[in-house]
Chains A and B, each alone.
Chain A
Amino acid sequence: SQQGEEDPQALSIQEGENATMNCSYKTSINNLQWYRQNSGRGLVHLILIRSNEREKHSGRLRVTLDTSKKSSSLLITASRAADTASYFCATDRDDKIIFGKGTRLHILP
């Protein structure tokens, strides 16, 4: 299966701490994307990293990609209450973008 699998399934941290979520996948990919979903809402794109890239930054987000291990990580630095959401990795191959099961992140005040 192409599907990404996030780890951990759920994560609770104190506001201000960093949050790290991991994603593993099984097939070759063109790129890997991370999305965020607030409860009951649509998914919002956060960041895309291409298969020939190893690291990418966007604001408080840092994404790494290791194609040899078929894994990616999303780091959110200096977390805020508003970061509470579910985070999904998505593998992009041909015209099939497959989402993992997601990590539910809860930021404690």
Chain B
Amino acid sequence: EPEVTQTPSHQVTQMGQEVILRCVPISNHLYFYWYRQILGQKVEFLVSFYNNEISEKSEIFDDQFSVERPDGSNFTLKIRSTKLEDSAMYFCASRGLAGKNTGELFFGEGSRLTVL
């Protein structure tokens, strides 16, 4: 069964460093998302991406964050200068050809980011 894959599963970084989290969405999906979840807490929307551009973003997704789909398969989240409060689990999700408003999200298993 097709699945969303995320790498790395866990990354430890120093405050102020740049981090890139990678996702490979399901191959025929067109809509891509990043969420984060601070340990045991709510799942927070960061950004949605369609047709090579951001379609929606939350107030969390400030200038320190960026997303890219560099090669038609990967979907990346970059945090330019990490802060302690960026420590969280980051989930990538994708949605299929049924289109927005009609389809379920498929989630990866997450990338745990620890900022020291």
Q: Which residue of chain A has the shortest Cβ distance to B3 in the bound complex?
A: A42
Tell me, yes or no, whether B91 is within 8 Å of chain A by CB: yes
CB within 8 Å of A: which B5-26 residues = none
Selected contact of B100 from candidates A44, A88, A95, A101, CB within 8 Å:
A95
In the complex, A14 has a CB within 8 A of chain B: no
Question: What separation, in Å, do the CA atoms of A101 and B42 have in the docked complex?
Answer: 4
Contact of B75 with A by CB under 8 A? no
Q: In the bound complex, do residue A45 and residue B104 qualify as a contact, i.e. CB atoms below 8 Å apart?
A: yes
A30 at the interface (CB under 8 A from B): yes
Asked if B106 lies at the interface with its beta carbon under 8 angstroms from chain A, I say: yes
Least CB distance from A102 to B in Å reads: 7
Asked whether, in the complex, the Cβ of A98 is within 8 Å of the Cβ of B108, the reply is no
Which chain B residues lie closer than 8 Å to A35 at the CB level? 105
Cβ A42 vs Cβ B45 within 8 A: no
Contact A43 B42 (CB under 8 A): no
- Contacting pair A99 B45 (CB below 8 A): yes
Contact check, B101 vs A43: say whether CB atoms are below 8 A apart: no
The answer to whether A96 touches B56 (Cβ under 8 A) is yes
CB of B107 within 8 A of CB of A44, answer yes
CA distance A41 to B48 in the complex (A): 21
- Please provide the chain B residues from 85 to 107 with a CB less than 8 Å away from any CB of chain A in the complex: 89, 91, 93, 100-107
- Minimum CB–CB distance from B57 to chain A (whole Å) comes to 9
Within A25-77, the residues touching B (CB, 8 Å) are 30-31, 33, 35, 37, 40-45, 48
B100-A94 in contact (CB<8A): yes
Q: How far is the CB of A19 from chain B (nearest CB, A)?
A: 20
Contact of B43 among A48, A94, A99 (CB under 8 A): A99
Residue numbers of B with Cβ under 8 A of A are: 4, 31, 33, 35, 41-45, 48, 50, 55-56, 89, 91, 93, 100-110
